[in-house]
């Protein structure tokens, strides 16, 4: 089940949770076998053996659990960049926050109200320990929790309608995501040459899909350390394409926040097949439909490029 992005917090009584900044993952338990699946049906088992081992210790015949795999900073906050570092050899604390239970011991629970599913999940996790954790539910107004989340430097909240069922694969609006900072996935379609002391490349060109077309959303030139520059450039070399993948380029517009992507600048771009997905934080969308002050956070391995839309 997917959460619908909302620019405003809903009013009234909602079941509120923290929005974690990591990889969404379904855990499928069947006897002694455990499989971790990403949103694009990629197996995560080999990447997170400590989570697999903890799931094997749960007392059930079979189950499907829904949650988010995160890496924590020194203050205990989930940070997507730390997951990227873990993939490259760093070892920050890892947690699997669980928030739903679509199946347990041969019973399909998707038609049950969320309160009952989460009660059964809490019972299943009674004797569990880190890295498995139950995602807490806050009995408060969504706006109040969002304000608290902002003070703590977290990404946002998830508000879930009381009594809602588990709608697999859908973004019905029964679950809403409200973010403190603008952040989402974008498809990488090219890169510019390096300038000054920068090596490998200068900036990446990113976009999103709309009605079958890939639309340009701007250049991202910050957020890269030397390791990221090297890792990305190596990936780019195998994805070089014959031409521009963005349907709305060239873009000759100019504004006080910069300019689009004119034909003269496009000649300096190395175009890529649009297969890689980057997580990007930014301050806002400009009137021209471009990102303002974008910062690269890392590559996403859990979302296919063709699913990336503007939130």
* Residues designated as active site: 19
| 243/251 Cα distance (integer angstroms) | 16
């Amino acid at each position: 089940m997917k959460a619908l992005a909302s620019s405003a917090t809903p009013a009234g009584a909602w079941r509120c949770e923290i929005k974690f900044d990591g990889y969404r993952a379904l855990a499928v338990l069947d006897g002694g076998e455990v499989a971790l699946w990403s949103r694009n049906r990629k197996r995560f088992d080999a990447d997170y053996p400590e989570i697999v081992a903890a799931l094997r210790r749960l007392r059930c015949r079979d189950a499907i659990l829904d949650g988010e795999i995160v890496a924590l900073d020194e203050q205990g906050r989930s940070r997507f960049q730390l997951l990227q570092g873990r993939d490259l050899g760093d070892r920050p604390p890892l947690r699997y926050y669980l928030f739903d239970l679509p199946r347990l011991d041969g019973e399909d629970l998707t038609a049950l109200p969320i309160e009952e599913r989460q009660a059964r999940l809490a019972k299943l996790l009674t004797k569990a320990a880190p890295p498995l954790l139950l995602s807490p539910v806050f009995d408060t107004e969504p706006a109040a929790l969002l304000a608290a989340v902002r003070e703590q430097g977290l990404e946002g909240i998830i508000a879930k309608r009381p009594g809602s069922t588990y709608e697999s694969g859908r973004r019905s609006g029964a679950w809403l995501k409200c973010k403190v900072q603008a952040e989402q996935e974008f498809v990488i379609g090219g890169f510019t040459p390096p300038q000054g002391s920068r090596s490998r490349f200068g900036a990446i060109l990113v976009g999103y899909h709309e009605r079958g077309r890939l639309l340009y959303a701007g250049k991202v030139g910050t957020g890269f350390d030397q390791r990221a520059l090297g890792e990305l450039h190596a990936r780019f070399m195998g994805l070089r394409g014959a031409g521009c993948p963005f349907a709305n380029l060239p873009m000759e517009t100019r504004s006080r926040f910069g300019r689009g992507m004119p034909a003269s600048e496009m000649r300096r771009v190395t175009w890529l097949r649009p297969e890689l997905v980057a997580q990007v934080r930014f301050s806002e969308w400009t009137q021209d439909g471009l990102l303002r002050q974008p910062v690269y956070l890392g590559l996403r391995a859990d979302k296919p490029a063709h699913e990336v839309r503007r939130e």
